Structure 1
Amino acid sequence: EDVFFTGINSYRTSQNLTILNKNENAECLADELAEQFKNRPCTNNTGSATVPGTEPQFADYPKILTKCHVNVSDTRDGSIMPACVPRLESSLVLTNFTKSQYSRSLNDSKFTGMGIGKENDWIVVVLTTNTPGGSYSTDTDTKDDHDDDDDDSSGFTFSIGLVNYLLVLIMSFCFFLC
């Protein structure tokens, strides 16, 4: 992950952009999402080749955000970019991000931070901004008691979180096409 992080920042420097800082909450989210992807096969339409509107949905996304201490409202300006590269060969991984629909986000100066997670053949990059809507800052209201109880006393929050997640994914992929 450190080599890839350095590679992305070298790429941004070559594009006359500022480097991305490490964002621990985004890294947590990237790790958790990579875990969700790990048993999915690589195909011609997964990861950076995903057709907008066919992105995988994770019913437990609100729980992942809670585990990473992130409020969904702090993610709407960010970008989540999964890629599947057999054996995560480093030069191919970098190319998968710099020579694909993801390059548009990597070339966007609004992004200031990054988190990276990987599992098996999957790598997930989460880009963050320095705005309230994309900072992935720590949610001070998040309760993390490390148990697996389904204490969903806030079902409304779950439905809002899922809707926002879907909107972020749809808007991210529309952003790549425009």
Structure 2
Amino acid sequence: MNLLHTYLPADEDDDNLLQGINSYRRSLNLPVLIKNDNAGCLADRIADDIEDLPCSSPTNGANILPSSQSPLANLPKHLRKCKIDANSTQDGVILPVCVPKLVPTLVLTNYTHSPKYVKYLNDSRFSGVGVGSEDNWAVVVLASSNPSGNFANAAGSLVSMQGIFVVSQLKEEEDKIFQGLNSFKQSLKKNSNAECLADEIADELEDQPCSSADDYAIEPGNGPKFPKFNKLIKKCHIDINTTTDGIILPVCVPNWDPDLVIKNYTHTQYAKYLNGSKYTGAGVGTEDDWVVVVLSTDTESGSFSGAPSLAAIGMVHYMMAMLLGLFLILLC
């Protein structure tokens, strides 16, 4: 069973878990859950955040209501990074499960046979879902169709949640940097995958000293210098073969002065890349004192385009794993 499971990337595990949950809902004549991108982003970030927790953690099996005091200390940050209005999460629920090796049948059973979770899966008011997984953890986020539970995008300035204030000006700051770069070079177009990667790298750099910038910079042909690069491009659904000619430019500016940030790109060695005609797209990410710009090309080898889908193959492996699991149970 474990051998079969090792062939399943996280995205396929997530899709197959969702299919299993929807099969369960169909058996109860309930509408299937529709993928909610923001809920999916949140599930991914929470799974990544709790990946080092043991299965004995109280988080395992907890039904976490965003509207109440959450055991997830970084939940406000995750909402901000996913650009979710906290007020639109009050009727949602977060369901984390820990299963060693994420054995598919056991993960699904934890959701469809646990009284604590079944009551949510059986609830017709939930219509949307996001699924994320990392190491031994799976996270399901259930959303409703009403404004208080649809995990909608944050509108703008300041969002409150149970006394916690989440500043959602980050997107505006990133847009200002993008505009500043285009004032220097007026041909860059936004690349959503590059933006996702820039956000993820900025998040990785958040607690690093400014001296770490060189460890995360990537020039064409040099390849990544930091260990989590492959993991981050997987989270952004980027084919690694499309990053070869791209470039990652991190900058650290204490107290985050926008003018200094722009100068760090337009008046340093980075300017040669901004001036280069081969770079046509960009993504910008920020976190604390860090800004990350990812430049992309129009060519396939630098486009940061999406990884090919293997969902169909993954489903075959998933069904094989389920059948093998049932066979082993019968033998016992």
TM-score tier, shorter chain, comes to 0.7 to 0.9
Structure-1 separation of matches of 2:27 and 2:105: 16
Measured against aligned partners, the alpha-carbon deviations of 1:41-90 in whole angstroms (never above 9, x if no partner) come to: 1128541268xx997331x3222111101011000001100000110000
Q: How is 1:63-142 mapped onto 2 (pairs within 5 angstroms)?
A: 63-100=77-114, 101-141=116-156, 142=168
Structure-2 separation of matches of 1:49 and 1:126: 12
Q: How is 1:9-88 mapped onto 2 (pairs within 5 angstroms)?
A: 9-43=22-56, 45-48=58-61, 56-58=71-73, 60-88=74-102
Partner of 2:19: 6
User: CA contact under 8 A between 1:116 and 1:123: conserved in structure 2?
Assistant: yes
User: CA contact under 8 A between 2:43 and 2:132: conserved in structure 1?
Assistant: yes
Instruction: Give the length in aligned residue pairs.
Output: 150
Structure-1 separation of matches of 2:152 and 2:136: 28
- CA deviation after TM superposition for structure 1 residue 102, in Å: 0.5
Measured against aligned partners, the alpha-carbon deviations of 1:100-150 in whole angstroms (never above 9, x if no partner) come to: 110100000000000001010000000000000000011232432321126
AA aligned opposite 2:106: L
Unaligned runs of at least 5 residues, structure 1 = 151-178
Structure-2 separation of matches of 1:6 and 1:74: 25
Is residue 257 of structure 2 the alignment partner of residue 147 of structure 1? no
AA aligned opposite 1:94: L
Query: After alignment, is 16-25 or 62-71 more displaced?
Result: 62-71
Partner of 1:160: none
Q: CA RMSD in A?
A: 2.4
Structure-2 separation of matches of 1:89 and 1:30: 18
What is the DSSP-based 3-state SS (H/G/I as helix, E as strand, rest coil) of the residue aligned with 1:11?
Answer: helix
User: CA contact under 8 A between 1:48 and 1:97: conserved in structure 2?
Assistant: no
User: CA contact under 8 A between 2:86 and 2:154: conserved in structure 1?
Assistant: no
Scaled by the length of structure 2, the TM-score of the pair is: 0.42
What is the DSSP-based 3-state SS (H/G/I as helix, E as strand, rest coil) of the residue aligned with 1:109?
Answer: coil
Structure-2 separation of matches of 1:15 and 1:44: 31
Change over 3 Å in CA distance of 1:126–1:74 after alignment to 2: same
AA aligned opposite 2:124: S
User: CA contact under 8 A between 1:28 and 1:115: conserved in structure 2?
Assistant: yes
Question: How many percent of aligned residue pairs carry the same amino acid?
Answer: 44
Unaligned runs of at least 5 residues, structure 2 = 1-13, 157-167, 175-284, 290-332
Structure-2 separation of matches of 1:46 and 1:57: 8
Decide which structure has the larger Cα Rg and report it: 2
Partner of 1:165: none
